[in-house]
Amino acid sequence: MPRPNRRLASTCIGTVTAGLLASGAALAAPDRGRPDDSDIAMGAYLHYGPQGVARIPYLSRWLGGKEVRVGHTYLPGDRWAGIEGNVGFLESWAQWRGAKADRMFVLNVPMQERNESRVPDYQVAQLIRAGAGGQYDQHFKRLAERLVALGVPDTVIVLGWEMNGTTYTHRCGPDPENWKAYWKRVVNTMRSVPGQQFKFDFAPNRGADAIGWSKCYPGDDVVDIIGMDSYDQAPGQTFDEQISQPYGLQEHVDFAKAHGKRISFPEWGLYRRGDNPEYVRRMLKWIEQHRPIYHTITDYCPHGVWQCKQNPESARAFRDALTPEKPGPVIPTPVIPTPVIPTPVIPTPVIPTPQIPMPQIPTPEVPTPQIPTPAIPMPQLPTPVVPTPAVPTPEVPLPLPSPVAPAPEAPVPVPSPLVPSPLVPSPAVPSPLVPGPVVPEPEVPAPEPEVSVPAPEPPPVVPKPEAPSPQVPTPVPAPVTPGPVAPRPQPEPQPEPPAPKPPLNNTQWCVPLNFGEWLSKLVGRQSVCVELGWGKGSGFWPF
């Protein structure tokens, strides 16, 4: 289909190229790790050169901020130099593409020079055969190297677009088989350039036109995307007819699905029927339903909606469909307080527990037998009365006036200690108390023990008289009062007779008395004997 303003003047191209080279703009390489986007990439053909790049942000603003992700332009097909990419405007598109990772650069590439010169079919057939033989390979290799050098190796190449029509020199109808061979040769040549990541888009015109486009399909190995240019024109009076016609929109979708390819719409827009908002709405709905990899509207008159003021209704339909919905003001939801209904307090009825009288069963009293405890009289040991021994005071002889030998005096008997008779105690037996030593007093009273029960007395100890030794009177000095340290005269100890042993199995109990070493020397060893009546007739004999 003819496109106005497609011929590019060589002078214009040279001027633009010189300006871009003088600017020295650096090109940024695109990000290869482009994330998958659920949104369909949308673009518009606004101009082939830098003006088209400059208009993209304005179109986005007109659409209420809708992001224009596809930049679309055409290489001139009048000379091989243009087909090789030897044009200056490619730098502008390469810069735009490299600015964001999710952008897409779509480039329409002619397959023959004099592409819009209305070359007759027989000459087209000759050009096709020459291309299939490899005569034009070097032109496409230079193009591939140019795109890789500009930093756009992932460019979508729409090669020999609308090949099923009658307009362009690269049409398929004059020789379909050689045309397919020529397509394969071009693709393989461009893919041989290191660093390339091109995607090749096979994009016929909607409808049969001069030849059914499926007859020109070169094969799945050299096609990445199956596109379609669809304008509001015949065949098909309504959009539904455009869907169902042979080689129409539905067949396009089905064919791509059968070959496992994504679809695209590199060109679409108004044409023969003027301002047709219904067509715009239906086309955008079809795009939304089948989700092509990208779509671009041809936005110049008579096809466009933004730059063409003669299609206002279609422009409004296009804008309303693509403008992002802005969230309205957040209206706070009124908070309706929940009425607090007081819960009535229902008193719990107190059910009195019935008092069930329990029968009183009298507990029988079992008399506890009284076992008389035998009263065992304990012997009462009397406290022994220890007599205080009388220590005789030595008599100091007075001096005689003359040395007359005194007559021998009878010896003074040393009084022997009196052993008190044992006392028979009463039934209570006190604990025996052992008295400590008692300091002797000058006078020794004779003990008079009380005897309640006669007991056998031990034989009296008769002291033996000792012969007095003659005493020679010596001068007696004046009496000197002894100091506190002077020792007192000690009586000579007398041998103590052995105490008689009580007979075996005797009821007499004797307890020895210890008066200390010093007093024992004076009074001798003493014992206290008690007669216990534990005989067989007393009632306490256990054996």
Average pLDDT over residues 159-169: 97
Output the six-digit token pair for 32.
């290869």
Residue 452 lies in a domain: no
Mean pLDDT over each residue of the chain, to the nearest integer: 76
Is residue 252 in a domain?
A: yes
3-state secondary structure of 410: coil
Of 265, 292, 322, the position where a domain reaches its end is: 322
Whether residue 8 contacts residue 76, with contact meaning beta carbons closer than 8 Å, is answered with yes
389 lies in some domain: no
In angstroms and rounded to an integer, the radius of gyration of the C-alpha atoms of the chain is: 75
The residue among 322, 341, 361 that closes a domain is: 322
pLDDT digits 0-9 by tens, 405-414? 344 444 444 4
Q: What pLDDT, on the 0 to 100 scale, is given for residue 520? A: 72
Rounded distance between C-alpha atoms, residue 47 and residue 299, angstroms: 9
Candidates 178, 94, 191, 180; CA nearest to 141 is 191
Tell me if 481 is assigned to some domain. no
Residue finishing a domain among 274, 292, 322: 322
* In a domain? residue 227: yes
In three-state secondary structure terms, 197 is: coil
The residue segments making up the domain with residue 526 are 508-538
Mean of pLDDT values over 442-459: 44
In a domain, 74, yes or no: yes
pLDDT at position 325 is 78
* Residue 177, domain member (yes or no): yes
What residues have CB less than 8 Å from 203, skipping those under 6 apart?
A: 158, 161, 162, 226, 227, 228, 229, 264, 266, 267
In this model, does residue 182 exceed pLDDT 90?
A: yes
The upper half-sphere exposure of residue 356, i.e. CA atoms within 13 Å in the direction of its Cβ, equals 2
- Backbone phi, psi, residue 439, to 5°: -70, 125
CA–CA dist 462, 253 (Å, integer): 163
Report the relative pairing of strands 225-227 and 262-269 from DSSP bridges.
parallel
**How many residues make up the chain in this entry?**
543
How high is the pLDDT of residue 494?
A: 52
Compute the distance between CA of residue 519 and CA of residue 525 in angstroms, rounded to an integer.
9
CB distance 105 to 97 below 8 Å: yes
pLDDT tens-digit readout, 186-228: 999 999 999 999 999 999 999 999 999 999 999 999 999 999 9
pLDDT (average), residues 339-349: 69
How many domains, the chain? Answer: 2
Contact 381, 433 (CB under 8 A): no
For residue 529, give the H/E element and its range: strand 526-531
pTM of the model: 0.57
**Strand partners of residue 225:** 201, 262
Dihedral sign (CA 211, 215, 221, 224) = positive
- Secondary structure tally for the chain: helices H, strands E: 12, 11
The DSSP-derived string for 136-158 is THHHHHHHHHHHHHTT-TT-EEE
In terms of pLDDT, which residue wins out, 362 or 453?
A: 362
What CATH code is carried by the domain that includes residue 77?
A: 3.20.20.80
> Quick check: is 234 in a domain?
yes
